[in-house]
Structure formats: structure tokens, C-alpha cells
Structure 1
Amino acid sequence: MTDQQKIEALRNELREHNHNYYVMDNPTISDYEFDMKLRELQALEKQHPEWFDATSPTLRVGGTVTKNFETVLHNERMYSLDNSYSKEDLEDWEKRIQRILGDVKIAFTCELKYDGASISLTYEHGKLVRGLTRGDGVQGDDVTTNIKTIKSVPLQLQGDYPPKFDIRGEIVLPFEGFAKMNAERIENGEEPYMNPRNTASGSLKLQDSTLVAQRPLDCLLYGIVGQDTGIETQWQMLEKARAWGFKVPTVAKLCNSVDEVLAFVEYWDIHRHDLPYETDGVVVKVNSLQYQEELGFTSKSPRWAMAYKFKAEQVSTVLRKITYQVGRTGAITPVANLEPVLLAGTTVKRASLHNADQIAKFDIREGDTVFVEKGGEIIPKIIGVDFTKRPLESKPTQYIDHCPECHTVLERTEGDAKHYCTNYYGCPVQITGRIQHFISRKAMDIEGMGSETVILLFQEGLITTYADLYKLTKEQIMPLERMAEKSAENLVNGVAQSVKIPFERVLFALGIRFVGETVAKKLAKAYKNIDTLMSASAEELTAVDEIGERIAQSVVEFFQNEANRETIARLKSYGVQFELSAEKLENQTEKLKGQTFVVSGVFEKVSREELKKRIEDNGGKVGSSVSSKTTYLVAGDKMGPSKRTKAENLGVQIISEDDFLEMV
């Protein structure tokens, strides 16, 4: 046997042993035998670098150092899930689905919700080519070199896999491995890690992949996205992924009713403590992928999936002091500073009190013993007071009436739960908050600058608005604390690169109250450039799809302010994008203005997403379900009969893919 044949044989054998051990939990050789074979392969590969293979089992030991993790767009967005906490929540969700799909029988796939770090893996021709963290759902960090060290992630697939697809899952740290890591840290005199989830997440961003390889991370997969996968149901998706070599938990169940779903939830709420991993709920998905397509997405989450959260853990502790935070819009948020307490694996020291009404509702006072819960096991919140332990000298909480930062008198408008500091252009925290929002990842995404740097630059008098960022020089930044030549250079370069950010994200970055990502996109699309938007009246703005009076008034007030107009003029002069690019404007018309389309089924010439894009590019609106407001139902192959029936009953015109393409 030649060396090349030996290398290939060893790679195949070790891949199989890896799969048996880490995915099937059924080792067929001892650890010693495996290590000997791995060393033999490493020696042969060292002798013959010309036969390098990116999927070789030897790459799992790490060795690559990554200084900066590149940010990469996801092929398809990673959405978050809506949460439910009761039978009523699930039943309401089922009713919403039924309203869209009509009177059809719906099956659900139930899977445990593992608490780890979300990951998206891209495979081409059966080989792992990229691993991205979830990031903000639109883009994530490329952690491929670290992912390759995780033994349960296949580098080479087996079976009838599609040519290209993404698979989503969670990187988790089993309890046993976590306990061993902490035992070693304590023995070495180091602080133990607090919980498996945060440790797993932090592991993905370690610069040295050798250190990642030493951690007992695992990867549990649950969802495939991509074109032409040949998969028709979520249940089939799980089975296919398992057959291709992925580690897919076997505790999933196919349910035919919400009652069956609840039985699954109740069982695992008790038995989840027997599992080797952290779990915090059950994910319920509509089983049919065709129905999933028909249901579609909201701006934040899929309509066809729901996370049922297990009851959150509760603890009691003492509320030491109530302090107040000022947000970038001037909104005041009261914060409970607590006696530190362990809750759901993390030490909690602070909890939000939301607003004055919330404090009054529970009669929360400093010195009280309070009950704390993690809402969805993420954000701590106070859910009540133990009045039996209230100190005798206790006094009711008097909500502040002046801004804690600039001492301006607070205002509260009728119908608004929050108090506001109206010193929009003079309150230091609001100024820095707006700049921090401007540089954030979803906005201008300025590399080399963080929240602390913004505060430092403001305190040194170098910036008072986000327009000032564009006149910063390396010489001004270098003398500042913690600023070396390289970091100053990176900051200036990061600012310079941000002028390439498209108009819709610039509009979001301006920090106009009530203008989030989605609203910014709608306004950018409707007005094409900042000048036409700045001259729009509130009445004209409300004519834009999903723009209500509150948003319209906020936009008008923002652009009426002379300081804001001056800042925008300065940003323009620095080259910031204030109009849609030629590429985005290309093929955009108003042909379908005022018309609403529902797209359903499978199409031959273009994908569903491309059809929806063409509708919006031509001024039309895409609806999720057929209603009296629907102008056309674009019907593809395998469209659900309920949509056709509903369209016929409402007199909605049904057109084909060809009809639509001819229309535009």
C-alpha cells in the first residue's frame, strides 16, 4: 500500500471511529488505539503536505490561531423564536396558524430546546466549509477553525446529502465535561466557570483552536435550510441529518395535537434533569415544510415555530438600592441592585424594575426581600415582595423627578409608562448613548470602537455628535488611555469604512425614536433618499405601509430640529450614504403600488423569496394570509387547498407564476 493509500485509509477509518464514539455513543476501539492511529496519520501527513485534506481527522486537534473573527452574512437569516409559557399560549398560537392555513390537519414536531451557543454550518459537496455564530441573525462571526475541533461535527458527510445547504444547531457543554473543567480550574487556583452555556459560547471565540479542542464541546443539530434539499417535513429533516452523520437528539416526537405537545412538555419538564445537557424548554414546529413556507415569518421570528419555556427558577434576595438609568432616547429605567444570588446558573446582582407603575404595583421598596425570576431564563425580573420580611422602618419608594445625569426635570406624557429626560442635546448619557447606537453592529458597524471608547472620546471633548467621529485623527486618539498606535489606526479606518454602509442602515443608525431596523427599511424604500424623507409631512408618512401616527410624528420632529439637520449635512459631506444605491434602485417601479399579494406553493422559474422581492421592488405588498385586502393570490404547485378555497370565497383573483412575471 502506498503512503497516499495509507493516508486515505486511515482518514476513513478515523472518521468512522469518531462518528461511532461522539455521535452514536458506541466506540468500537479503545482511546489508546485511536490515538495511535491518529499519530500515524499525523506523521504521514507531515511527510506529504501535498495530500492535504480540509476534512482530515487530524485537524480536530487544533493549532490554528485566529486573531480576528471575520463577520460574514448568513446565507439565510437565523431568526429567534417566540416564547410561550402556558397551554393557553400554545392554543392561541395554533389558532393563529389555523386562521392562515385554513381547516387542515396540522402535525407538530417537538424537540428539546438545548441551552448553548447557536451555530450555522455550511456544507458543500458533503464537506464542511464554514461555521458561523448566530450574531445578530443577519450576520455572524466565522469560527470555522474552532468548529472543526468539535468531534461530533462531521467534516465529511455520508449518504444522499444535497450539494449545498446550511444546518443549524447548538454548541453545548455537557454537565460532566463542565464539572471536570471546573475541578481542574479550582485545583489550579483559578475561578470556576459559572455555567455551561456561557462557557460553550466563549469557547467559540477563543483565538487558539488548540484550547477549543481540549474542551468537551458537543454539537446538536436541528434544522436544515437551503434550496432543493428533497425534504418535505421537519421529522424527515431530523432523520436525514442523522443519516448524513450529524448528531441529532433522538428525544424528538411527532405530535398530532396540542394535547400531545403538552404531554411531551410535561414529561421533559420533569425528566430534563436526567439529560447530560442544559435545556430550558421545548421547541414546537409545524411538521410540514410546505405549511412552514405558507406561514412564513414575522420581522423577528417564524410563525410556524414556538418555544415553550419550562417554568423559570425563582429565588429570593434583598433589594439593597434602587438606581435609575438614562437611555439614548431619554427614557428612565429604574434598576434594582440586589444582594448577589445564584439564579439559573448565573449570579444575579441587578434586575430591571421597568417603570414607576411597576414599582407602585408591587409596592417595591429598598430593603425589601424580593422574589426574582429570570424571564425566559435570560433577563432577571422582580415578580413580588415577601412582605413578612419588610423592615419596620421601611418607606414607600419615591420615584425620581429629576434626571440622575443632568438634573433636568423629568416629563411623562399621558399613556406612556416611562418618564423621560427632555434634555436631548445636553444630557451626557443620551449623547453617548446615541453615538453608541450609531456605531453598533446593526447600524454603522464601526470596527475598532466600543461603548467604552465612545465615553472616553466624549469625556475628552473629541466628540459630541456621531458626525464628529468622521473628523477624528490618529494623532488625537493615540494619547488617550488604553490607546496604542494600532488601535487608534483601526478606529480611524473603521470610521472611514462605515461610509459604505447602505442608506437603510444609516437611517436606523440616526437613532430616530420608534424607527427600528424594519421601519428604517420601509422608509428608505418609500423615499429613496434622505432629502425627500426630510421634507415629508406626517400625513404623507402614514401613507407608507406600517407607518403609524406615532412613528410619523417622531420622524417629522427629528428632521425639524436644526441640530439634526446640521449633523446630517455634515455626515453627507463625509460621504455617508443617504440614498438607495443604484443596485437597489434598479428594476424598482410603482407598478404594483396599492396591491397586496399572497404567494403560496412551489414555483418553477423563480423561488418564493425572489417572487416576494419582485412584488416589493415594484411597490406591492406581500401578505401572509388571504384576506379581503388581498388583491392577488400567486398560486404555485402544491399550494394548500385552504388558501384556494378562501380566495375563491372572498373573490380574490388567483394567478399563476407566469401571469405574475408578465405583470412585472
Structure 2
Amino acid sequence: MTESPVADLSREAAEAELARLARALARHDALYYQGDAPEISDADYDALRRRHADIEARFPELVKPDSPSQRVGAGISEAFAEVRHGVPMLSLDNAFSDDEVRDFAARIARFLKLPGEELIAFVAEPKIDGLSASLLYVDGVLEVGATRGDGRSGEDVTANLRTLGEARIPSRLKGSGWPARVEVRGEVYAPTDAFTAFNAAAEAEGRRSYANPRNFAAGSLRQKNPAITAGRPLNFFAYAWGEPAEGFSETQAGALEKLAEWGFPTNPRSVRVEGAEGLLQVYRALEADRATLGYDIDGVVYKVDRLDLQARLGFVARSPRWAIAHKFPAQQATTVLEGIDIQVGRTGSLTPVARLAPVTVGGVVVRNATLHNEDEIARKDVRIGDTVVLQRAGDVIPQIVAVVPERRPADALPFAFPTHCPACGSEAVREEGEARRRCTGGLICPAQIVERLKHFVGRKAFDIEGLGEKQLVAFHERGWIREPADIFRLARDKEQLTALRAEDGYGETSVANLVAGIEARRTIALERLIFALGIREIGEQTSLLLAREFETWDSFDAAGREAAAGLPSAAWTALANAPGVSARMLALMAEATPPEADPWLDAPLDQKIALALPTLAAPARRALAGLAGDWDGLRRLLVIARDEGPSETLGRIAGVSGVGPVAARAVAEFFHEPHNRTVVEALVAELSGVLPAARPQTDTPVAGKTVVFTGSLERFTRDEARARAEALGAKVSGSVSRKTDYLVAGPGAGSKLAEAHKHGVTVLSEDDWLTLTGG
């Protein structure tokens, strides 16, 4: 999916996207680490992480202590006791090309300030596709074995690890010279032949089989009954250590030798090399031998050999600077595309999914593959009946790489992507710059309704106490809540409330509390009501701006309906979004009345444009000439600008400071759908009143001042701080500049504090801020 450039994101949009990405990453972490059932490829997961990191780099004030950038893996399962790692088990950044590997080596050289001709020594190790484990030995005896978990704490699987046997995980260290307390780390994996045999036997007996050796290893190790683990074919490679932090060798290669001396199997394909080209030679050799190794690997790990240099290089967030994982490309196969299904996501996005003739790719039977979006289908010219090249990106989720044109059926037609939602029949629109169409059904679309209702009752919307996701899902499945108005109807439906007590274990008090929570929200502030509707592009701050502009629900509702009736044509939208076209140019074009005939046959078009639009600057005239092509084309563009543009009401919404044309169009499109209007009418009919938005004060010490909050605020949340400052008439910014009046700094303030000192900005503690604002 094509994302908006990070540089173009507003702070509000960035905050919303970070929250969305954090939820997605948490879900995929749990699927991978706890459920042993990943749903997306390593590449797609890495893309989510990169997007998240890019936004945080652009808006560092939005970085939260629980951000995905601050953690590794996922939380531990409640089925196992928690083990705190002596040293965190971090993950690695990834490289996917030769150039990225060369950049990695070059970055290290620059960081260490080494001469250009000096080659850095690395250890290259096969990246085993298994489950990371940590083994704590005290006085040479195995005391605790744990999974990686979230990187700081893992699951106690000591009994299960002991079943691997002395040849793989010794109960007592061999040799000598080991520290009194040492934490050995490595990978539990399943040999490919043993995995294949296990799956074949399981399927024959009707037992559970596993998608790949990694899931098999993870599922086998995380059994509550160690006897089950003992019957599974698992091996172990040691490759690192936690405690002691100072190590027990001067080099990575030397440490691997020590681990082998103490009785641990280490990978025989690990090798010490010099420079980026040495790394790439190892990578190519392992890639060529991958199928014959006897175990799954998904890349090669490169580590700086000298441990003193590792210490100097240190870490960045969740990854060491001195190591990186170079991933292999996905495995491929060919099959026949039997159909294309359109799935509607919980936020309304339409995603095409290929239905395939079953084929085995990398040991997994594949029946479906992602097609991403309609542009991808058109770019690859994928048609039903085609023979296609399939790959498992990151060896997890399948995707279609290309079509085999010589095998195309004669009657295969280009795929027509639907313009209406298959779930509810609403229009499926695609905004400029968006890669996917989205259903506009919103509050009535069955594929989206639970997610929309969660937003509706959320803390920043109606904030209904006692009505969370669990209750919404249960009530929706019973048909009790299908739209927001049903929530308020439920509160007075005695028959359903009686059933609620009987079927869900609610007592009279809990039912009374739920009813009270609903009834308390029959009167709602206008900005909360607007935000609760879940209109795309309309976040909390934009809702407040609209509420202050229109003051009453009736006024906003009328403006939305009028804007919907005056949505600009597709031709006007294309013109408005064309390169070089500005709002001023559009305004001049809308007022122009050019002659019927070409006024100057031999003149260049940009000079003819000067006759029709004399105040248009030369660069703009040239841009318009490029769009028009000739005089007739220019006349057509002028007619579009005059007759097909947005209504005055849409312009009014767009003209609200801080709202803009994208959000205005989103409001118009929401009200353009008749069923959205019906749902909103039913909701408003259930309400007792809609309160106007509070106006910011103008007589406070901070009215008109620009304020930035940074650090880990302790006296109030970031949302509370922003709301309070804006209510007092201050403008809250996400970055420090010469125009900033105050920086309110909590513990851990970093770059913003330095910028404030640089520009002479007044720096306040949280207590100073409360004193200044009257607390």
C-alpha cells in the first residue's frame, strides 16, 4: 500500500497513524511470538516497523514509553512463569540487498572513524528460522531456560528444554573457564526431514500439523507437558550470550569456540570474514546451499567480530549497531489463479485476494495470495485463469510476483475492480494518493460496524462506561446493537436487559451501571459527536475546529448535506490535483471567459493563456499549457474550473483554519451516502441535547502563546496537557522554533530541550506551568 510521505503528515495524522501502527504491530507480535501463527510476511512486518520508525523520527514528541520501537517481541503467555533476562534479548535490523549490506559496513567504519582502507572483521552466521532461547547456568549447572518473550522477560520452559538432551543442551557445562554465572543464547529449531515426517504422520492420524518448521519448533517448546516436547525432534544451536555483559572472549568467533568447548552445538557454517564483500560471499554460498542444509534458514546474520568494537558501537532503540540480518528472497512456485475475492477490512479498505489452485511453496500448501490493491492488479495485468508465479514473501504470506503470459487463456479479461462495497453496497471511493478504495458505508457496513462502534463509545467520543469491545461484540452478534442509536435504545429495553442479566451473568447493579453510563451520554458536546461519527480524516482536533465554526449540530448537519450535494466532479478533482495547479490558478480559471475562437493562431499556448488570464504568473501559465495541450484543451479546463468545482459550502468547510480541503471532502462524502444520513438522524433523535464547543479563553497568561510539551509528563497526560493549554487560548505545537514561547519539559526531555535553549525559549517544569496557568 502506498502511504502518504511522512513529511506531509500533520501532527494529528501522525499521532493517529502511530496508534494504528502500534495496534497492528502488537497484534502481529502476539501472533508470531505467542500464537506461533504469523499472518503477514517478514517483509510486510518490517515495512510496518519502518513506517512507524520514520514517523517517530519526524515527530519525536509522540514517542511513548510503550512504543513498538521501545520493545522486542511480545508479552509472555500466562501459561508459563515469567523469567527476567539478565541482559535484554534484542532483535536485529534487516537488510534485503547487497547495497544495504555495504551501507551497514560503511556506517560502522564511519562510526568508529576507521581509515577507508581498513577492513572490519565480522562473523557471518546462518540465521536459523526457529525460536530463540536463553539458558542460565550458575556454577556450571543449568538453572533456568526461557524464551525471548518481549526481550526483557520470557517464559520459563526449563523442563521442556531439558528434554532436548545433553548433546544439545547440557545440564552441566563441560570443560573449564566458564563464568560462575553465564546466560547462553541460541535457537531451538526442527530439522526439515524430521518436520516433514512429523507432519505426514500427524495428518494421517488426524492430529494437528504445522505450517513450517519455525511454528513447529515454537509450538513444541511451548507445551505445558514436557513429555510432549520430549517426543518432538528439536535441535539447538548456540550463538550468543547475555550475562556476563563483558563477555568471556575478545571476539565473537572466540566466544563461539568457547561455547563449543562447554558442550553446546554451534553452527559449522559460521565463519569469520573481512569487509562487506566477504559478507556477501558467505551470503551467496549459504543461499546456494540453503535447500541442502537440513534445517530452515531465512538469511545470514552479520556481527562485528571484536567485542570491544561491539561495545563502542552500542545500540539503537531495540537493535545493536554492530549486527544486522541479511534476509533471503522468498521461495517461488507457479499455479493457476481461479478467482479474485474482495475482502472488506475493519476500517473499510477493500483488499483483493487471489484464489489459487493449491500449490506447495516452501513446505506449505498455499490456496490464497494477496494482490494488495487495484493498481497492483493492473500493473501486473493479473486475470482470472492466468498461470501465475507465486512467492512466499519472507517465507510467510504468499503473493503473486508475475503472470506467465504464454499460458493465458484466450478468453481471459482484465479484472474490473468493484466501485461499491461487496459487504454493504455503499460506494467504494479512492482518494487522491490512496492505494486502496474504501467503503463509505461506515456505520452501516457489517464488515466495519464493530470497529466503528468501538470508536463511537471510546474515551474521546461518547466515552460510555462499561461498554467495551467484549460487550459490543456480544451485543452485535445477538442483533441488539447494529448502529449507534441502538445503544441508547438498549438502555430502555427492559426485555433485553432482563436477557442480559440471565445470559451474561450481569447482576442488577452492573445492569444499572451500564444503563446509567448510557443515559449519561444522551447529552454530548458537539465536538465529541462529530468525532464519534468516525468520518475519515476527521480526528479529535479537527472535530473541535468544526464544532467551534458551526456551533450547533443543526448547522454542521446542514453544511455536511449541502457539501455532499456540491461535491466536485472527478474531472475537477483531477485538475485541482494536477502538478503545478494552485488554488489561485483555479480561482482565476473559474473567473475567465476566453474568446470562442483561438485569438492568436501562431502564438505559443502559454502566451495565449496570458490573454485569458493576464495576472497568472509565467511558471503557472507554462504548467497550465502543459495540461491543456492546445487552445481547445484550455477551453475545456476553463469550463471545468468554472462549472464543476466544489460548492460554496464545501469551500466554507475547507476554509476553516486547520481543516483544509481533504477533511472537507471527507465530510461531504460521509453525508453523500443516504444510509449514513439515516443512521445519524436516528442517533440524534435518541439524544437529549448537543452542547456547543467551549471557546478558548482570551484573557489568560498563555492566550495566543505557542507551547510545546516534551518528556515524560508526570502531573498530567499529554492529551490533558494539550486540551488544557488550548482551552486557555494557547497554541500547542509539536516542534520548537524561534516562535515558541514556552517549552514545558518533563523527565527525559531531549532534543526539544536543546532546541529551546538554542532559541532562547522559556523552559518550564510541569509545576511552573501549573503555577503560570493557575493550575
TM tier relative to shorter chain: 0.5 to 0.7
Tell me what 1:181 maps to.
Answer: 198
Tell me what 1:93 maps to.
Answer: 104
Candidates 169, 173, 181, aligned match of 2:186: 169
Q: Give the C-alpha shift of residue 353 in structure 1.
A: 1.7
Give the alignment of 1:550-561 within 5 angstroms: none
Q: Give the C-alpha shift of residue 344 in structure 1.
A: 0.7
The answer to whether residue 118 in structure 2 is matched with residue 115 in structure 1 is no
Tell me what 1:361 maps to.
Answer: 379
Q: Is the 8 A contact 2:443 2:452 kept in 1?
A: no
TM-score when normalising by structure 2: 0.50
TM-score when normalising by structure 1: 0.57
Candidates 138, 147, 150, aligned match of 2:164: 150
Tell me what 1:275 maps to.
Answer: 293
Is the deviation greater in 139-148 or in 182-191?
182-191
Q: Distance in 1 between matches of 2:370 and 2:423?
A: 18
Tell me what 1:528 maps to.
Answer: 717
Tell me the alpha carbon deviations over residues 490-528 of structure 1, each in whole angstroms, 9 at most, x when there is no partner: xxxxxxxxxxxxxxxxxxxx9x9999xxxxx98865973
Q: Closer, same or farther in 2 for the Cα pair 1:302/1:229, shift >3 Å?
A: closer
Equivalent position SS for 2:417: coil
Give the alignment of 1:167-246 within 5 angstroms: 167-182=184-199, 184-185=201-202, 188=205, 195-231=212-248, 232-246=250-264
Tell me what 1:410 maps to.
Answer: 428
Equivalent position SS for 1:157: coil
Q: Distance in 2 between matches of 1:210 and 1:382?
A: 41
Tell me what 2:668 maps to.
Answer: none
Tell me the alpha carbon deviations over residues 226-284 of structure 1, each in whole angstroms, 9 at most, x when there is no partner: 35433443223322322333222232111111221122222222333333322232111
Q: Is the 8 A contact 1:162 1:229 kept in 2?
A: no
Q: Distance in 2 between matches of 1:544 and 1:351?
A: 46
Q: Is the 8 A contact 1:222 1:238 kept in 2?
A: yes
Q: Is the 8 A contact 1:523 1:544 kept in 2?
A: no
Q: Distance in 1 between matches of 2:452 and 2:109?
A: 42
The answer to whether residue 322 in structure 2 is matched with residue 304 in structure 1 is yes
Q: Closer, same or farther in 2 for the Cα pair 1:150/1:542, shift >3 Å?
A: same
Q: Distance in 2 between matches of 1:339 and 1:436?
A: 38
Runs of 5+ unmatched residues, structure 1? 1-65, 439-449, 484-509, 516-520, 546-584, 597-617, 620-664
Tell me what 1:292 maps to.
Answer: 310
Structure with higher Rg: it is 2
Code of the aligned partner of 2:112: L
Q: Distance in 2 between matches of 1:541 and 1:80?
A: 34
Q: Is the 8 A contact 1:173 1:197 kept in 2?
A: yes
Q: Closer, same or farther in 2 for the Cα pair 1:83/1:127, shift >3 Å?
A: same
Give the alignment of 1:599-638 within 5 angstroms: none
Code of the aligned partner of 1:225: G
Code of the aligned partner of 1:132: A
Q: Closer, same or farther in 2 for the Cα pair 1:587/1:300, shift >3 Å?
A: closer
Tell me what 1:588 maps to.
Answer: 747
Runs of 5+ unmatched residues, structure 2? 1-76, 457-467, 492-496, 506-533, 540-708, 738-743, 756-764, 767-775
Tell me the alpha carbon deviations over residues 141-181 of structure 1, each in whole angstroms, 9 at most, x when there is no partner: 43332222121123333433334454332211123433553
Candidates 104, 111, 114, aligned match of 1:103: 114
Q: Distance in 2 between matches of 1:129 and 1:479?
A: 48
Q: Distance in 1 between matches of 2:415 and 2:733?
A: 42
Q: Closer, same or farther in 2 for the Cα pair 1:459/1:591, shift >3 Å?
A: closer
Q: Is the 8 A contact 2:352 2:373 kept in 1?
A: yes
Code of the aligned partner of 2:195: F
Candidates 704, 713, 732, aligned match of 1:540: 732
Q: Give the C-alpha shift of residue 318 in structure 1.
A: 1.5
Code of the aligned partner of 2:172: Q
Is the deviation greater in 388-397 or in 427-436?
427-436
Code of the aligned partner of 1:216: P
Code of the aligned partner of 2:169: V
Q: Closer, same or farther in 2 for the Cα pair 1:288/1:425, shift >3 Å?
A: farther
Q: Is the 8 A contact 1:67 1:207 kept in 2?
A: no
Q: Is the 8 A contact 1:327 1:433 kept in 2?
A: no
Q: Is the 8 A contact 2:182 2:241 kept in 1?
A: yes
Q: Give the C-alpha shift of residue 213 in structure 1.
A: 0.8
Q: Closer, same or farther in 2 for the Cα pair 1:194/1:225, shift >3 Å?
A: same
Tell me what 1:383 maps to.
Answer: 401
Tell me what 1:566 maps to.
Answer: none
Tell me what 1:259 maps to.
Answer: 277
Q: Distance in 2 between matches of 1:299 and 1:331?
A: 32
Q: Is the 8 A contact 1:119 1:170 kept in 2?
A: yes
Q: Closer, same or farther in 2 for the Cα pair 1:283/1:463, shift >3 Å?
A: farther
Equivalent position SS for 1:595: helix
Q: Give the C-alpha shift of residue 316 in structure 1.
A: 0.9
Q: Is the 8 A contact 2:187 2:238 kept in 1?
A: yes
Tell me what 1:23 maps to.
Answer: none
Q: Is the 8 A contact 1:178 1:196 kept in 2?
A: yes
Code of the aligned partner of 2:98: K
Q: Closer, same or farther in 2 for the Cα pair 1:530/1:429, shift >3 Å?
A: farther
Q: Is the 8 A contact 1:318 1:367 kept in 2?
A: yes
Equivalent position SS for 2:320: coil
Q: Give the C-alpha shift of residue 374 in structure 1.
A: 1.5
Q: Distance in 1 between matches of 2:144 and 2:452?
A: 35
Q: Distance in 2 between matches of 1:304 and 1:465?
A: 53
Code of the aligned partner of 2:191: P
Q: Is the 8 A contact 2:710 2:746 kept in 1?
A: no
Query: How big is the alpha-carbon RMSD for the aligned residues of Structure 1 and Structure 2?
Result: 4.8
Tell me the alpha carbon deviations over residues 92-136 of structure 1, each in whole angstroms, 9 at most, x when there is no partner: 322333343333542111001112222233444444343333445
How many residues matched? 452
Q: Distance in 1 between matches of 2:258 and 2:353?
A: 48
Tell me the alpha carbon deviations over residues 386-427 of structure 1, each in whole angstroms, 9 at most, x when there is no partner: 111222222212223233334432333333323333555554
Q: Distance in 2 between matches of 1:463 and 1:360?
A: 39
Q: Is the 8 A contact 1:115 1:278 kept in 2?
A: yes
Is the deviation greater in 124-133 or in 148-157?
124-133
Q: Give the C-alpha shift of residue 210 in structure 1.
A: 0.8
Q: Is the 8 A contact 2:136 2:183 kept in 1?
A: yes
Q: Give the C-alpha shift of residue 359 in structure 1.
A: 1.6
Tell me the alpha carbon deviations over residues 307-333 of structure 1, each in whole angstroms, 9 at most, x when there is no partner: 223343211112222223334444333
Q: Closer, same or farther in 2 for the Cα pair 1:192/1:416, shift >3 Å?
A: closer
Code of the aligned partner of 1:377: D
Equivalent position SS for 1:336: strand
Q: Give the C-alpha shift of residue 71 in structure 1.
A: 5.5
Q: Distance in 2 between matches of 1:592 and 1:375?
A: 38
Identity %: 37
Equivalent position SS for 1:92: helix
Q: Distance in 2 between matches of 1:156 and 1:85?
A: 39
Q: Distance in 1 between matches of 2:204 and 2:731?
A: 68
Q: Is the 8 A contact 2:388 2:404 kept in 1?
A: yes
Q: Is the 8 A contact 2:88 2:242 kept in 1?
A: no
Code of the aligned partner of 2:133: I
Q: Distance in 1 between matches of 2:455 and 2:190?
A: 33
Q: Give the C-alpha shift of residue 461 in structure 1.
A: 5.5
